[in-house]
Chains A and B, each alone.
Chain A
Amino acid sequence: MSDLIFVPREEHGLLADTLNRLLPEPSSAPKDRNALWADLAQSGALAVGLSEDEGGLNDARAVGVVAEQLGRHGAVSPFVGSSAVVARLLAKSSSADSSAGLRARLGDGSTVATVALLPDQPLAVVRTGDKYKLDGARRLVPFGAEADYVLVDGTSSDGAHVLALVPKAAFRIERAVIGIDGCPYADIVFSDSVIGGELVLGMGVDAERLWAWCGDAYLAALCADAVGAMATLVQMTGDYLRVRQQFGAPLSSYQVLQHRFVDMDMALTESRTVAEWAAGLLDADHDRERRQAVITAHFIVMRSATKISQDSVQLHGGIGMAQETPVGRYFKRLLTLPLLFGDEDRPAATYGNAD
């Protein structure tokens, strides 16, 4: 087994091929989400982030391979929150032994978990005996209405971070919405929600570190997903330029369009580099090393995504605006990153601050 970033393991190629066959053609209509999830579960893709003993590859890069294929095929699923973040977090946290059963269910897709990414509302966690009581809210939780568990970062009465995995019986869906990116989101409310101590995955500094890892793992997987979506847009745009005739010649014969297309492909090339780098460093021993790689990936992928999605529509012309043209679907998919995690200004402002 190779441990070098940019040197794929054999399993990565096999995994990509499997998913490529399994998932619907990028240009076809999206598959029913439940059927898709069942297919993914069947293929073993949901477990790749787990250890070898648990049927996985114990490999963040393999998680990136899956995310990229999902992006490439426009597949809407809770993979990132459930498999890329929560399942792997459980293996990292102190409750690793007790959560083996839950990890297995996440790995076979029978249980779905998600992450409340926007911690911009108060969420109080109070210990009562061997249980914890949560009060507060989280908004726009991806797949929040479908998930069996939601991972939240709350605050204890003494101001410490508390990382908790809350089962759906303990929260209420206040509002369910569909995002521009085609994903479902839910605003959820915790009101005297009581959970067992085994579902608290970290406290204080420990929780803070793990929560930072979760954000990075989510972001890195989204970057890989974006690389897949961008690859599809570049592919579709190249195909269109070769076929579409104007002024008696294919669009691909015009230099001004050639150069714009080359710039799109070049942007994709750079994004693939940083997405693979970030995935490779996700489990680095030093948090700072991981942080800088993920921030860089965010920045570069964000720039590329804006350029590629906008230019794909432009180079398709009028037909690029039509709902039935698949370009628009990938254009919108690429909005998850800036809308949930911020556009390139955020990494530009935060890079280096980890020093």
Chain B
Amino acid sequence: MATLFSPEEEAFRAEVRSFISEKLPGDLRDRMLSGGRPTREDKVVWTRILHERGWGGYSWPKEFGGPGFTPVQRYIFEDEAWQAGAPEVVPFGMKMVAPVIMKFGTAAQKAYFLPRIASLEDYWCQGYSEPGSGSDLASLKTRAVRDGSHYIVNGQKIWTTEAHDADWIFCLVRTSTTARKQDGISFLLVDMKTPGITVRPIITFDGYHEINETWFENVRVPVENLVGQEGQGWTCAKYLLEKERLNFGGMGFCKRELARLKRLAAEGAVAERRPLDNPLFKARLNALEMRIHATDLTNLRFLRAEQRGEALGLPAPYLKVLSSHLQQDVLELQMRMLGPDALPVSLAGGSNETLDAISEYANVAPNYCNYRKTTIYAGSNEIQRNIAAKSLLG
């Protein structure tokens, strides 16, 4: 008989599990396991705990201060963290800008930024999309014009997740309008405290503030904050996509929320309707669980291939498409199962916090609304299919 994991990997899982159960604050865990969203402070607290253990940059190789996990160890680590109720680390720092700095950055950039990312001294956000450049990202217009030892940045970024919490933003900016549009783009690191940056909230229809529009007006950025060569920004962005092609987070979220769905189905206010006695609901729940297993294992199958140094199929687009739909579907089934109990989201004349504090169900419908984003962000699922088609059909 064969197994999914080796005995060494199972031992690693046990080590991670016991570390998390010992170190993760109970109130934080409880909030995460009941559908809550982590605050900036939650992420800081948890990342610092990981950092003390040497796991602040847990996806990094040893030479940059990471633990040098294998791809499968990293999968196990995240799988455990999600299911135990740990908040997700800030992806824009550890998983996105850091690998780009490791690959294209100067020695000074590596020495300065990487340790500050691992300890979450710097909270990062991403400046890619613009009002006129969504799926057609390479058409972006935010200008960076060289002026002595600085770039002067002017323009507008949009959908900047957590810009209001961030210390730094990594941006794709246009440094040339004459080159092919991809070749006129550069990768720039910008301190959010620089004069001329304005962050305005965009409230999403779930009622929450998560994303923003970020304006740049004559923002002076030192030339040493350019990553790679001028005009190499598109290459950096593509490398980032490739590097991050295995998006574990999505499946961890699915498994956590599936567990919540099953718990809610078995207990509490919905008990009088006994959803588990309804064969149609049970079949839907089973179907969802089997789909989650299949995608989770597909992720693992790709990682095994990566560990063997083998290219195998189309991991990035497929996992993005499959996992984004599963995230939406698990939240949708939570909401539909609760039915009328999912209706109230705030107290009349009161605040969200008030109802959240007394009802676990208050976040279910807003979470469902919020996660419509997953099929849109990080390259919409339509863009993912374009990428896959290019590779399959030429």
Contacts and interface: CB of A to CB of B under 8 A. Distances in A.
A272 B298 CA distance: 8
Q: Interface on chain B toward A: helix, strand, loop, or mixed SS?
A: helix
Interface in B281-335: 282-287, 289-291, 293-295, 297-298, 300-301, 304-305, 308, 313-314, 317-318, 321-322
Interface in A128-185: none
B267 interface: no
A265 interface: yes
A351 interface: yes
B1, B286, B308, B317, most chain A CB atoms within 10 A: B1
A17 interface: no
B206 to A, nearest CB: 28
A7 B304 contact: yes
A302 to B, nearest CB: 10
Interface stretch (B21-29, B48-56, B181-189, B385-393): B385-393
A273 B297 contact: yes
B3 A4 contact: yes
B265 to A, nearest CB: 12
B388 A262 contact: yes
B301, B313, B386, most chain A CB atoms within 10 A: B301
B15 interface: no
Given A258-B386, A349-B283, A266 B2 contact: no
A198 interface: no
B348 interface: no
A6 B393 contact: no
Given A4-B5, A345-B283, A266 B321 contact: yes
A274 interface: yes
Interface stretch (A67-75, A80-88, A113-121, A292-300): A292-300
A258 B389 contact: yes
Contact of B394 (A60, A242, A272, A345): A242
A348 B286 contact: yes
Contacts of A252: 389, 393-394
A56 to B, nearest CB: 15
B2 A281 contact: yes
Interface size, A (range): 35 or more
Given A5-B3, A295-B290, A296-B293, A269 B308 contact: no
Interface in B1-35: 1-6
Contacts of B385: 258-259, 262-263
A4 B290 contact: no
B283 A61 contact: no
A284 interface: yes
Contacts of A255: 386, 389
A259 B318 contact: no
Across the A-B interface, the 9 shortest Cβ-Cβ residue pairs: A258-B389, A351-B286, A280-B2, A252-B393, A348-B283, A6-B304, A273-B298, A283-B1, A6-B301
8 contacts: A4-B4, A255-B389, A262-B389, A265-B388, A280-B4, A344-B287, A349-B279, A351-B289
